[in-house]
Amino acid sequence: MKQITLLLVFFSLNLSYAQQGIPVPEMTACDTEIQNFMSQFGIPSVTMALAKDGELKYMRSFGNSNIAASVPTQPYHIFRIASVSKPITAIGIMKMVEDGTIGLDDQVFGSGGILENHWYFSNSTIPDNQVYNITVRMLLEHTAGWDRNVNCFPNPTSPYPWFFSGCDPIVAPLHVTEDQGVQNPVREEHLINYVLERNLNFTPGSQYAYSNMGFLVLSEIIEEVSGQSYESWMQDEIFEPLGIFDMHIGENLQNDKIEREGEYVGNGFTTLDLYGSGNTVPWEYGGFSVNAMDGHGGWIASARDMVRLLVAVDGFATKPDILSPSTITSMTTPSATNPNYAKGWAVNVSNNWWHSGAIDGTASYWVRSNSGYTWAIVLNKRVVDGNANAFWAALDAMGWNCIFGTPNFPDHDLMDSPTVNASALMAVGDGISNMDLIWTNGNGSFRIAVAKDITNNTDPFNFSAYPLDGTNYTANAQFGVGDNLGDGTFVVYNGTGNSVTITGMDPAKRYAIRVYEYTQNANNGNNALYLLGNPAEQEATLSISDFSLAQHVTVYPTFATDKVTVKVETQEALDYRLFDIQGRELQRGSLQIGDNELMVSSLNSGVYMLSVFKGTAQTIKRIVKK
């Protein structure tokens, strides 16, 4: 990480990588820098986001997101970020410290420790009593006593026919499960326990030694204190309040990848996969357990969401921070044992903070500079041959060269986008050709509803195409007529409301429906910016159950002054809820067989939606109050 001097490095190469995302004419030097880097090191995909003074100026992607090189990488794609997970975990731990639920100098293991009653570690056989002196601070600062460079594995490291040097259990999952007497695949608790049941390498707090296991323990602390999984607590308490919905703990296998996750290009194969099947697998897809890396290396994310998070803890006044100034200072102050590492962050005397990440098939960089810039870069390949040092030097230089090559930044803020998606989507067919949709709006200024025929899909939400930032779409309520996003997903609504009736649908087919919020205004450069994570969604048919309630419920008059009559022609009573056009519930109750009167005299003039249902069967009727 550079401190003061910025290097501007350009190469005269033939550039052929596809560029995706909103073009930024003022920042074409960034495009060139990335493309040259990809050409020099043979990187299939790069996605980068950069903010200045808390405003997102640049989010672009290059190359292809999949191994077959058939899907262009978009800014919405998410990738493994490896050890950049560590400062993310540090943010969560410091939030708990700030809230008073834990203390930096709290004991972790043993009697009175945070994990005293842990479901797994409470039964550990710990030979080194110094383990009981480990504190939260030591885990954050890599001073807990574990040194992964000191050998601890047997030779050979059974069941592997070779020897693993050092002592990082994450590299040898089959050996750990064998040693612990547990089933494959390995869990994070098994990895931690492997080192707990061995002697420490130095007195806790006395020296620095980078430790993946220390940050796995921090993940367990979050789970023990919160009563939630580490992933869920981070999502609930840190990410989602910021409008971040595309950060998840990754999965191990290519077939289990998360929606909009890219694919990875590694550097070799192993015949010993972490499931013990004996299959030959790429290291990046089954050789090691991403899912068990949790807080030390398990997160997948988009570059845009990484910058959104970083801006929320950068210590600058440009955008509100989620941590207090004193907490941020504590988090980024160098430890007593290493002037270049704080609590989950690499730091330097220039007050720059950063972290890199690398596992097979992944390289990442996350940077906060002292001059108000923040950026994230994520790749789907890393270089491990003789060019590795040059690769990391160029990746370190990329953000700085982008800044140095941009004399004038644009005025827009691409972070001015929705942070709450639409919700409570109801989709009700009439049994013939129409489907009524109603939902509760999020905080975008507009939204689009999309529909896709999924009759032949086993996965109901088998989407592979999404609205693109900077693109406006033409909607048509007749299915198949509006803009096609690319995989048979048609735009059926675009506007500011919260309901639409889709026509031209087939009663023999199944459909997936989604609603995405977007914001478009002068501040974001008049770019339509979509929130894809956590959309309102529904799998629906024109007949939701064995019969359509639409044929058995009648409401009259449609235009009412004082009351409406709801006629029920079924074999049992039904339930109802009355909503206004914003999706707010106003009334609820039961409807008996025959005629039922609902009073509407107290309602304001306008359109209302009456949902009548029983179990999974429902229908929506419109009522207009004069």
What percent of the chain has pLDDT above 90?
83
Six token digits for residue 549: 């309630």
pLDDT attached to residue 427: 87
Rounded to whole angstroms, how far apart are CA atoms 446 and 45?
31
Confidence of residue 548 (pLDDT cuts 50, 70, 90): low
What percent of the chain has pLDDT above 70?
96
Q: Tell me if 204 sits within 8 A of 145, measured CB to CB.
A: yes
Q: Which of 103, 299, 97, 295 lies closest to 189, judged by CA?
A: 295
**Residues in a beta bridge with 619:** 612
- Residues 192-218 have a mean pLDDT of 98
**In this predicted model, what pLDDT tens digit does every residue of 565-602 receive, in sequence order?**
999 887 778 999 999 877 788 999 999 999 999 999 88
Residue 42: Cβ-neighbour burial (10 angstroms; 0-12, 13-18, 19+): exposed
User: Can you tell me which residue has the tokens 């842990």?
Assistant: 118
Confidence of residue 561 (pLDDT cuts 50, 70, 90): confident
Helices (H), 467-608: none
List Cβ neighbours of 42 (8 Å cut-off, separation of 6 or more).
381, 383
pLDDT attached to residue 550: 73
Six token digits for residue 529: 């910016």
Amino acid at 64: N
Asked if pLDDT for residue 279 goes beyond 80, the answer is: yes
pLDDT attached to residue 5: 35
The pTM assigned to this predicted structure is 0.87
The residue ranges of every structural domain in the chain are 88-226+235-239, 423-540, 549-625
pLDDT attached to residue 16: 54
**In this predicted model, what pLDDT tens digit does every residue of 91-140 receive, in sequence order?**
999 999 999 999 999 999 999 999 999 999 999 999 999 999 999 999 99
Asked if pLDDT for residue 6 goes beyond 80, the answer is: no
**In this predicted model, what pLDDT tens digit does every residue of 295-312 receive, in sequence order?**
999 999 999 999 999 999
Asked if pLDDT for residue 2 goes beyond 80, the answer is: no
Six token digits for residue 176: 């750990």
Q: Tell me if 464 sits within 8 A of 487, measured CB to CB.
A: yes
Q: What superfamily does domain 88-226+235-239 belong to in CATH?
A: DD-peptidase/beta-lactamase superfamily (3.40.710.10)
Asked if pLDDT for residue 364 goes beyond 70, the answer is: yes
pLDDT attached to residue 11: 33
**In this predicted model, what pLDDT tens digit does every residue of 401-422 receive, in sequence order?**
999 999 999 999 999 999 999 9
- Residues 337-356 have a mean pLDDT of 98
**In this predicted model, what pLDDT tens digit does every residue of 183-200 receive, in sequence order?**
999 999 999 999 999 999
**423-540: CATH topology:** Immunoglobulin-like (2.60.40)
Q: Do the two domains 88-226+235-239 and 549-625 of this chain adopt the same fold?
A: no
- Residues 19-44 have a mean pLDDT of 97
- Residues 261-280 have a mean pLDDT of 93
pLDDT attached to residue 542: 85
**In this predicted model, what pLDDT tens digit does every residue of 309-340 receive, in sequence order?**
999 999 999 999 999 999 999 999 999 999 99
Q: Which CATH number fits domain 549-625: 1.10.1060.10, 1.10.3720.10, 2.60.40.3080, 2.60.120.620?
A: 2.60.40.3080
Asked if pLDDT for residue 77 goes beyond 70, the answer is: yes
User: Can you tell me which residue has the tokens 């087919």?
Assistant: 509
pLDDT attached to residue 543: 67
Helices (H) and strands (E) in the chain, counts: 11, 27
Length of the chain: 626
Asked if pLDDT for residue 3 goes beyond 90, the answer is: no
Confidence of residue 14 (pLDDT cuts 50, 70, 90): very low
Cis bond upstream, residue 159 (ω within 30): yes
Cα angle value 247/195/229 (rounded, 5°): 30
Six token digits for residue 498: 């919260």
Range name among 148-152, 247-251, 426-430 with the lowest pLDDT average: 426-430
